[in-house]
Amino acid sequence: MSSKDTPAIRQSKGGVQSVERAFGLLECIANSAGSATLSHIAADVNLPLPTIHRLLNTLVNLGVVRQLPDRGYALGPGLVRLGDIAGSQLGAIARPYLRDLVAELGESANVATMDGDMVVYVDQVASERQMRMFTEVGRRAHMHATGVGKAILAGLDPEQVRHIAATAGMPTPTEHSVGTIGELEAELERIRERGYAIDEQEQELGVRCFAMAIPDAPAPLAISVSGPVSRVDQAFADRAIPLLRSAAAQISSDMRGGV
């Protein structure tokens, strides 16, 4: 499951070839979890060895890739920094509104984006409560098993949803998780009707979560509030949903407004 995952390297017209190739290599290393040797990479992306070697050298000099003592290549710390900044920038616009949500509702609020076929949490404002959700920023999770993920999926084409479900798979972290594409599609329809997604202990037992997509965002984005089922109940939802709705609207307009 490695020679087909990276379908060579997409070359879009008007793009700079070497840059596209360079990121193809990064993708390739990212997919082959851990290190990847030169020839291993050459097998995946379809390029002559010297070319790959030269590109990798450049990336190593840039600190984006690090070369292991056994000559293998791995993603380097430079990417940690860039990724961190990228995430915080995405989250930065949303943060003040998340803070309001937390202040108002007393539960943790999150922003997540879709990357590839997974959800990535880009920012979180944790509640002050003792027992609270512990969703690390940067964590990745399956779309169908999270509130934010389902909220995002509900805004995509059905075929795109199928494709994501197919490539990422549909594991069921708990017995409440959605397990089949049929169920998922029905669930997404419900989400579209009511305007928000519910994660009913689907990601973790005892945790309920309300999520909503940010309309017209530059990247697929959703926000959520989550907490233990004991506190996050119907009464909570009645207070939370309008707040989520207005937060989503404001974030959306902030993002369109630039800065």
| Minimum gap (Å) between residue 43 Cβ and a copy of itself | 18
Strand partners, 212: 223
Nearer to a copy of itself by Cβ, of 3 and 12: the residue is: 12
256 binds, among DNA, a copy of itself, none (CB under 5 to 8 A by kind): a copy of itself
Residue window 36-55: x/- pattern of binding to a copy of itself, with contact defined by CB under 8 A: ------------------xx
39 binds, among DNA, a copy of itself, none (CB under 5 to 8 A by kind): DNA
Phi, psi of 224 (to 5 degrees): -155, 160
Task: Please give the angle made by the CA atoms of 86, 88 and 94, to the nearest 5 degrees.
Answer: 120
Our finding on whether 138 is near a copy of itself (CB under 8 A) is: yes
Helix H or strand E segment including 137: none
Q: Give the C-alpha separation, 145 to 140, whole Å.
A: 11
User: Among 45, 49, 61, 58, which Cα is nearest to 5's?
Assistant: 45
| Minimum gap (Å) between residue 60 Cβ and a copy of itself | 9
Buried b (16+ CB within 10 A) or exposed e, 89-118: ebbebbbebbebbbeebbbbbbbbbbeebb
Asked if residue 123 lies in contact with residue 91, where contact means CB atoms within 8 angstroms, the answer is yes
Interface residue with a copy of itself among 92, 156, 181, 241 (CB under 8 A) is 92
Our finding on whether 257 is near a copy of itself (CB under 8 A) is: yes
Nearer to a copy of itself by Cβ, of 4 and 71: the residue is: 71
Residue by residue, DSSP assigns 154-195 as: TTS-HHHHHHHHHHH----SSTTS--SHHHHHHHHHHHHHHS
CA distances from 168 to 118, 125, 178 (A): 7, 27, 14
| Minimum gap (Å) between residue 19 Cβ and a copy of itself | 5
Nearer to a copy of itself by Cβ, of 62 and 166: the residue is: 62
User: Candidates 48-56, 75-83, 94-102, 190-198 — which segment interacts with DNA by CB under 7 A?
Assistant: 48-56
Our finding on whether 72 is near a copy of itself (CB under 8 A) is: yes
81 binds, among DNA, a copy of itself, none (CB under 5 to 8 A by kind): a copy of itself
Point out which residues bind DNA (CB under 7 A).
16-19, 21, 37-40, 42, 47-51, 53-55, 57, 67, 70-72
